[in-house]
Chains A and B, each alone.
With several copies, the nearest count.
Chain A
């Protein structure tokens, strides 16, 4: 089953990469882009009988490995699921 995990820095945590990109875009003439936050994106193929099972596994994996709970939060998407 195809799943996706989006990991982003928590809103209160400073994102130096995002800031540098915004500034670069500014000097390239894209001043209309006034905020950028950079995160990570994972595509995971999971063997699971149901959407719920896949979601459970991937959430666990995101929690334990993909995201650093100290500074990041994450969101999970599973193909064929509209979310909880």
Chain B
């Protein structure tokens, strides 16, 4: 299984995603530079976290014009699994591969801490190995993770079962207190209509080794590895 980790200028979780997929999960992984002409024959594309272009102007706003994004779009259109983590999620939204936008956190501060998220749907390649309702303990680290979309869009996302992760308490209950950034409907991550493109604010790649305090993030990577092995997609 080969993961492509896309590097934009200013990406800073690129090595973390690489480490998690290659060294922890033992898969093939390769960096793809944002000016590269192809995705190196990857089976899965990861848009990692960080501050592409310094997050200047708006998070993800400039990165989405990088040449590699045209390749990512083709890959996604062909059904290839794509995951955007944190800044990667922001890039996917700006690029229109996912719907919605991310505003500044409700209390205007950058937040780095472990939170709980509930897996809402298991019919995406990144959650197929999980159980619906399963609660993960994973870190967040962002200043602009407050998911926003118009009420119609939110309703459509819900109706089409595109809300994949919600912030919750340890027991899976939703509450204002367990929503760290003010996201509408506690949305922590969504997928596209085709269900192969997933974006989320929390960092599963930071939760793959017990030494780092949680291994709950592995299920996302393990899911996509077995999904691909099972379907032989791409």
Write out the residue numbers on chain B whose beta carbons fall within 8 Å of the beta carbon of A13: 103, 148
In the complex, the chain B residue whose C-beta lies closest to that of A20 is: B56
Q: Is the interface of B mostly helix, strand, loop or mixed?
A: loop
> Is A51's CB within 8 Å of the partner chain B?
no
> Is B150's CB within 8 Å of the partner chain A?
yes
Number of interface residues of A (CB under 8 A): 16
Write out the residue numbers on chain B whose beta carbons fall within 8 Å of the beta carbon of A65: 57, 61-62, 65
Which of chain A's residues 5-24 have a Cβ closer than 8 Å to chain B?
Answer: 12-14, 16-17, 20-21, 24
Number of interface residues of B (CB under 8 A): 24
In the complex, the chain A residue whose C-beta lies closest to that of B150 is: A12
Contact A70-B182, Cβ < 8 Å, known A16-B54, A20-B56, A21-B57: no
**Contact yes or no, A71 B57, CB < 8 A:** no
> Is A57's CB within 8 Å of the partner chain B?
no
Contact A17-B62, Cβ < 8 Å, known A24-B53, A38-B57, A71-B148: no
What 1/0 flags go to B25-69 for Cβ under 8 Å of A? 000000000000000000000000000011011100110010000
> Is B141's CB within 8 Å of the partner chain A?
no
> Is A47's CB within 8 Å of the partner chain B?
no
> Is A49's CB within 8 Å of the partner chain B?
no
A-B residue pairs in contact (CB < 8 Å), sample of 19: A13-B103, A14-B148, A16-B54, A16-B108, A16-B146, A16-B182, A17-B54, A17-B57, A20-B62, A28-B65, A38-B57, A65-B61, A65-B62, A65-B65, A66-B57, A68-B61, A70-B100, A70-B149, A71-B103
8 nearest interchain CB pairs? A17-B56, A70-B101, A20-B56, A71-B101, A24-B62, A16-B106, A20-B53, A28-B65
A residues lining the B interface (CB < 8 Å): 12-14, 16-17, 20-21, 24, 27-28, 38, 65-66, 68, 70-71
